[in-house]
A = this chain, B = another copy of it.
């Protein structure tokens, strides 16, 4: 079985978590079969999808390799680790335990401590029962994008391991998660000030084919602008 058909990736053009997985697969030279879950139509809250992921979120990955479990792999950080383990080169984690810890910490600052606060399910809950209108939601988005990216910037600026990319001179999970948040700020037209290292590293990422090909606007289903 070639890698072309090995993986089904349940995906949507726009989401930050799906973007992370797309970059990682491109980096490894693997092309999964994408299956659309239409977030704008609310498919992620439908019964069929909740069978695959009871959290009602995407992406999810299914491995069709022979003799492997078909249990959907959810959560972008878990999928990144799985891709790295099953396709180790070119590496997306450093060779040393401290380096891996720093990269995972940076990745989690954004994927675990920033992005979950600005997902569609949080928007739905804050507007349905929290009394938020569109302006309050936008202020909420701006607050958490700014908090997360400025804290990230502070680490990039102060920690000696920062290089051309977040950790040294090759891209890692940290760059993937950073870029996944920056592309969201563009979609939502949010301008976070005072993040020069973030902007420098995002520009370096966008020079790489793996990141460029994952741009949300290039994915199937994206609006033509």
Q: Does A66 touch B at the CB level, under 8 Å? A: no
Q: Are A113 and B75 in contact (CB under 8 A)?
A: yes
- The tally of residues in A whose CB lies under 8 Å from a CB in B reads 56
Q: Does A130 touch B at the CB level, under 8 Å? A: yes
Write out, one digit per residue, whether chain A residues 58-69 have a CB within 8 A of any chain B CB (1) or not (0): 000001000011
Q: In the complex the two chains form, what is the Cα distance from A132 to B56 in whole Å?
A: 26
Interface of chain A: mostly helix, strand, loop or mixed: helix
Task: List, in ascending order, chain B residues with CB within 8 A of A81's CB.
Answer: 100-101, 104
A–B Cβ pairs within 8 angstroms, 21 of them? A55-B151, A68-B98, A69-B98, A71-B98, A73-B105, A74-B109, A75-B105, A75-B108, A77-B77, A78-B102, A78-B104, A78-B107, A81-B104, A82-B101, A86-B97, A108-B112, A112-B112, A117-B122, A130-B132, A130-B140, A131-B131
Question: Top 7 A-B pairs ranked by shortest CB distance?
Answer: A112-B112, A78-B104, A75-B108, A54-B151, A54-B154, A78-B105, A82-B101
